[in-house]
Amino acid sequence: MSIEIRILTMGLASTHCYILGDTDLKEAVVVDPVDQAPLILKTAQDAGWAIKLILATHAHFDHVLASKELKELTGAPFYIHGDSIPLLGNLPDTGIRFTGHPFPEAAVPDRLLTTESEIIEHGAIKFETLYTPGHAPGHIAFYMREAGLVISGDCLFAGSVGRTDLPGGDHDLLMRSIFEKLLPLGDDVKVLPGHMDLTTIGKERLTNPFILEYADLHAGNR
């Protein structure tokens, strides 16, 4: 079995959409349907994959704008954390606030993820969910243990962390999510974030100024 990953960077915030394909089954899982559902579908089809599942790390508009249309185009179910529902339901109004025009409605979730670690498996593609709130309510990271990578959403970035000045944001909670859920994965684990460059847990542990500052502030408690 083998897995390939296609990355599309698009939308108002240059957000990454990840398309993971099981090259034996010729089927794919999409994480964060950012925008342009037809482009996501075409990218999968060009690789020879049928999209069978749609996941979102959280419900900020730039991670779910294409969720409804992509679900309609593919018939794939859509999974997101239950705490994301209020944001998800407010997607049209969010568009008015950000652009002056309503965004399309989000997909109705077919499964609500929880705070507990869950296994999501489709062919060779196997995720362990990691509950990583702080940037947004119900934020989830998707860890692929055998592949040695984590799709971190907007929790951890290369040289930065997710913003916490939006409704529901909590910087201390975000940092605890990083220290308790992501850093223990191990230094060799690749980090596929929602924005900017790919990185590794080890690089961020050693160089990320937010992690270094938090570690220094809490050194006496560890």
Domain coordinates in residue numbering, the chain: 3-221
Q: How far is CA 222 from CA 66, 130, 178, 206, in A?
A: 42, 22, 15, 17
Fold held by 3-221: Metallo-beta-lactamase; Chain A (3.60.15)
Dihedral, 154, 113, 60, 199 alpha carbons, nearest 10: 20
Mind listing the pLDDT tens digit for each residue in 52-89? 999 999 999 999 999 999 999 999 999 999 999 999 99
Share of the chain above pLDDT 70, in %: 98
Strand arrangement, sheet containing 119-122: 119-122, 125-131, 140-144, 149-153, 190-193, 199-200
Q: Is the pLDDT of residue 222 over 50?
A: no
Phi, psi (degrees; rounded to nearest 5) at 102 = -70, 140
Q: Which residue shows structure tokens 């992509």?
A: 70
Share of the chain above pLDDT 90, in %: 91
Residue 133 corresponds to which tokens in the numbers above?
Answer: 């709130």
Predicted pLDDT at 11:
92
Q: What is the pTM of this model?
A: 0.95
Q: Is the pLDDT of residue 16 over 80?
A: yes
- Mean pLDDT within 18-39: 97
What is the band of 221 on the pLDDT scale with cuts at 50, 70, 90?
Answer: low
Predicted pLDDT at 220:
57
The helix (run of H) or strand (run of E) holding residue 9 is strand 3-10
Q: What percent of the chain is helix, strand and coil (3-state, nearest 5)?
A: 35, 30, 40
The helix (run of H) or strand (run of E) holding residue 179 is none
